[in-house]
Amino acid sequence: MSFTGKYELQSQENFEPFMKALGLPEDQIQKGKDIKSISEIVQDGKKFKVTVTTGSKVMKNEFTIGEESELEMLNGEKVKAVVQMEGNNKLVTQVKGMKSVTELNGDIITHTMTLGDLTYKRVSKRI
């Protein structure tokens, strides 16, 4: 199953408390909470390029399944992490105590991030 495509954010849960826990400033949280972000994913075998555009902010990450990569987090911090594939439709990584799971089901991508007992979930649909 290929992740390649463009996806528009449809819904998100716990955005504000999760971004606060990551240390984002309040003004950025307020600006970002109502913007419909667009995620563009290009998958070439085990290599992925992910571009997330939220208003004027563009976050780009490139990684290869099973290899250490430098990833930009939501707060702009760059960290090293290894992304693993579970089955043929789930990307999983652990970054600084946070677990990130991206699951593709048909035209829907569900991205769930868990930090302690706080879970942030976003659902995007292929456009």
In whole numbers, what is the pLDDT of the chain averaged over residues? 93
Strand partners, 41: 5, 50
More confident of the two residues 95 and 108: 108
Q: What total number of domains does the chain contain?
A: 1
Looking up residue 24, the CATH number of its domain turns out to be: 2.40.128.20
**Where in the sequence is the domain holding 98, given as residue range(s)?**
5-126
Q: How far apart are the first and last CA of the chain?
A: 17
Secondary structure of 14-37 in the HEC alphabet? CHHHHHHHHCCCHHHHHHHCCCCC
pLDDT digits (tens, 9 = 90+) for 35-63: 889 999 999 999 999 999 988 889 999 99
**Phi and psi angles of residue 18, each rounded to the nearest 5 degrees, phi first:** -70, -45
pLDDT digits (tens, 9 = 90+) for 93-102: 998 889 999 9
